[in-house]
Amino acid sequence: MPQLELVDLRANYGDVAVLERISFSVEKGEIISLIGPSGSGKSTLLRVLVGLLPPAAGSIRIDGQEIDYRNKLVLRQLRSRMAIVFQQFNLFQNMTVLANVTIAPIKVKGQAPAEAEAYARQLLDRVGLGNKLNAYPDQLSGGQQQRVAIARALALKPEIVLLDEVTSALDPELVNEVLDVIRLLAADGMTIFFVSHEMAFVREVSSKVIFMADGNVVESGTPAQIFDAPQQPRTQEFVSKILRH
């Protein structure tokens, strides 16, 4: 059984259709990269998955069970199964690194502070920030802040993480330290949705690449299929443009 299954998913902003009949499925541990031109609906798809925008039609199943996005309790449970990280890391500026990572487990899951802290220390060690536990976000570089944001997303032990352009706001020399963290997650068998302009990295880590345009999936396949032998004219055009850079 796939871990996640989207069937004819649609979403609108107001009366404008933004996603039209998206269908695909994801096995546990897959790394799914969403690529496509600006405005094609990549961020919107991630927002729908985590419940920030209700689907207009179609269904999403997790472990075979349809998610009822109108049910608040279901949404709350979903938040700890799927975590999203954005380009703008949105850390709490008035809290230390450690507090940023422990707040959700303590407040949302009611974990004991000592337990939340022990796990946060492990996570921060893994993202290379074990020595910054008591720093405040404005004392960190952009790459370090983004790694805290990833540790924070992992603190609720999600089954699936959604990463939306997590390296786009970073100076080029800081991009790799964040990509290294993502490699670690991938090696751990975490299911990851990845939206990024880092095409070399997309090619290296993805199990499946989904090319979107105008709110539709145009084509999907392995990195080699999409980058070396795209079948659809829209994909060919997009790929030839990015490879020229």
In the complex, the residues that contact ligand ATP under the rule CB under 6 A are: 13, 18, 36, 38-44
Task: Tell me which residue has its CB nearest to Mg ion.
Answer: 43
Q: Is the dihedral of CA 90, 94, 100, 104 positive or negative?
A: negative
Q: Which two tokens stand for residue 200?
A: 């070399």
Q: Contact 238/35 with Cβ under 8 angstroms?
A: yes
Choosing from 33, 43, 144, 145, the residue that interacts with Mg ion (CB under 5 A) is 43
Q: Which does 92 bind (CB under 5 to 8 A by kind): Mg ion, ligand ATP, none?
A: none
DSSP helix/strand/coil, 13: strand
User: Smallest gap, in angstroms, from Cβ of residue 42 to Mg ion?
Assistant: 5
Residue 234 site contact among ligand ATP, Mg ion, none (CB < 5 to 8 Å, cut-off depends on kind): none
Helices marked H in the chain — which ranges?
Answer: 42-50, 72-81, 97-107, 113-126, 142-154, 172-187, 199-205, 223-228, 233-244
The residue among 129 and 178 lying less far from ligand ATP, judged by its C-beta, is 178
Minimum CB distance to ligand ATP, residue 185 (Å): 21
CB nearer Mg ion, residue 43 or residue 146:
43
33 lines the binding site for Mg ion (CB under 5 A): no
Q: Which of 109, 47, 46, 50 shows the shortest CA–CA distance to 78?
A: 50
DSSP 215: T
Nearest approach, Cβ of 18 to ligand ATP (angstroms)? 4
Residue 196: name its binding partner from Mg ion, ligand ATP, none (Cβ under 5 to 8 Å by kind). Answer: none
Q: What residue has token string 């199964």?
A: 81
Select the binding partner of residue 38 from ligand ATP, Mg ion, none (C-beta < 5 to 8 A, by kind). Answer: ligand ATP
CA–CA dist 183, 173 (Å, integer): 17
